[in-house]
């Protein structure tokens, strides 16, 4: 079975729930294995564990911001920085085929903002967004997009 690798963060479990359903969908409909790594614990002594990623991959990232309005005044990314440091390490950013953002629409203009910030600073696309645990329609739409991009990127046939 062909494998697609995902590096993500999930702190309260919504993104993990989405990815488990995505994993089932890709296995059943495409015979693709999704390999999932939650990097939230990849920290030792306050520093993110350094790891070179040598295969193309996708990222999934919920927004956790505090302060400001998130756009033109101060804001701070909290809790999700291990993923940022992993992507920033070595040439890992070049292997990322794109990012899927998640969040809560109650945050208005800050909805899914961190994924857009990563895309801009690292130079890969925002593939899509979903709210909280996502719907079945989100799972199918995003799964279909990942398969197309993985094929275009030469990751799978
Ligand atoms: C302290 C805190 C800050 C958050 N900030 C944002 C935000 O700026 N934008 C947004 O869209 N969602 C925000 N959220 C909502 C989370 O992104 C959302 O609950 C997400 O589904 C959490 O994913 P997880 O359960 O996989 O950790 C915030 C949640 C918390 C607890």
Dmax of the chain from CA atoms?
47
pLDDT at position 95:
96
Q: Which atom of ligand 1 is nearest to the CA of 12?
A: 25
Ranges under pLDDT 50 in the chain:
none
- 152 alpha carbon to ligand 1 midpoint, in Å? 31
| Nearest-5° Cα angle at 52, 142 to 18 | 25
pLDDT, position 120: 96
Per-residue confidence (pLDDT) for residue 78, from 0 to 100: 85
Which pLDDT value is given to residue 25? 98
What pTM was computed for the model? Answer: 0.94
Cβ of 83 less than 6 Å from ligand 1? no
Specify the pLDDT at position 29.
97
The SS3 assignment for 7 reads: strand
Q: What is the pLDDT of residue 66?
A: 83
């Amino acid at each position: 079975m062909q494998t697609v690798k995902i590096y993500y963060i999930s702190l309260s479990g919504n993104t993990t729930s989405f990815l488990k359903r995505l994993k089932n969908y890709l296995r059943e409909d495409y015979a693709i294995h999704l390999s999932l790594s939650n990097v939230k614990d990849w920290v030792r002594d306050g520093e993110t564990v350094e790891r070179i990623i040598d295969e193309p991959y996708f990222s999934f990232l919920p927004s956790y911001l505090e302060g400001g309005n998130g756009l033109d005044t101060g804001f701070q990314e909290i809790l999700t920085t291990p993923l940022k440091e992993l992507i920033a390490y070595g040439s890992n950013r070049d292997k990322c085929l794109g990012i899927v953002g998640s969040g809560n629409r109650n945050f208005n203009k800050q909805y899914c903002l961190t994924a857009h910030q990563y895309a801009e600073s690292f130079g890969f696309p925002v593939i899509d967004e979903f709210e909280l645990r996502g719907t079945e329609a989100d799972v199918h739409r995003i799964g279909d997009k990942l398969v197309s991009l993985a094929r275009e990127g030469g990751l799978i046939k």
